[in-house]
Amino acid sequence: MTAQLIDGKSIAASLRQQIAQRVNERRQQGLRTPGLAVILVGSDPASQVYVSHKRKDCEEVGFLSQAYDLPSETTQEALTELIDRLNDDPAIDGVLLQLPLPEHLDASKLLERIRPDKDVDGFHPYNVGRLAQRIPLLRPCTPKGIMTLLESTGVDLYGMDAVVVGASNIVGRPMAMELLLAGCTVTVTHRFTKDLAGHVGRADLVVVAAGKPGLVKGEWIKEGAIVIDVGINRQDDGKLVGDVIYETALPRAGWITPVPGGVGPMTRACLLENTLYAAETLHS
């Protein structure tokens, strides 16, 4: 058996097309164009690439895009003032603070400063809390994108044993809550977990978001399981690989996401989806 690929690139392209169509309809109705402000502090190369992709996505769907590229020595006070201004700007529906930040900045305080109805990354404690309470509003982008990928398979997740590898605030923890909402029995594993292979081997669905290349071996995967690989790691030869050993997982899994071209494009598409949702539902 060879796994069926879950093509995040094509699913994300379709989602962007739907968003662009809706933005065009809003224009024809005389409604405001959704606006996204992206704040980048410093010159981290990976962050610069991510931000350029996000701005390109905004152009593609017709959003108003505001860019704030700030020097690495920017102070906490200056960033707080900028966020406050964007919170009060009626043309802006989403405020995105690109992580990681320079060490002298307190990311938690800055993320909490973003108004919850403009927190299109879904990181604010208010939005995470709503997800935990089963009344999500703006959902964290990567877990939300993964749920869209899972829906595309047509597989009923209800009652499945799901294992999340990684317990970060950005992916692992909200992912577990999304899977609980979908009716899965969820186990969250992390770097202190004993017998990781055993947990993975019992799972009908595995979401791996640990940031460690090749952490999950293909032979651990249960026959026919769904494998979602969130990891994106650049090797010395420049090749991008995930947290799962793809070549050995492929013949065992029922469905699998490639790296690249799996989860990454969906994270970006769901940022746009959240921004449109904020414009239409929260700021109408």
Active-site amino acid positions:
54, 98, 121
168 in a labelled binding site: yes
Annotated binding residue 232: yes
152 is in an annotated binding site: no
Q: Is 245 annotated as a binding residue?
A: no
Instruction: For residues 243 and 141, give the distance between their C-alpha atoms in angstroms, rounded to a whole number.
Output: 19
Query: One-letter amino acid identity for 189?
Result: T
Bridge-partner residues for 96, per DSSP? Answer: 38
Distances (CA, A) of 245 to 16, 102, 205, 226, 258: 30, 32, 16, 14, 11
Q: Which tokens hold the place of 41? A: 């502090």
- The enclosing H or E element of 119 equals none
Report which of 195, 248, 188 is spatially closest to residue 218, judged by C-alpha positions.
248
By the 8 A CB rule, do 160 and 185 touch? yes
By three-state DSSP, how is residue 134 classified? coil
Q: Which amino acid appears at position 191 of this protein? A: R
Binding site: residue ranges?
166-168, 232
Binding site for NADP(+): residue ranges?
166-168, 232
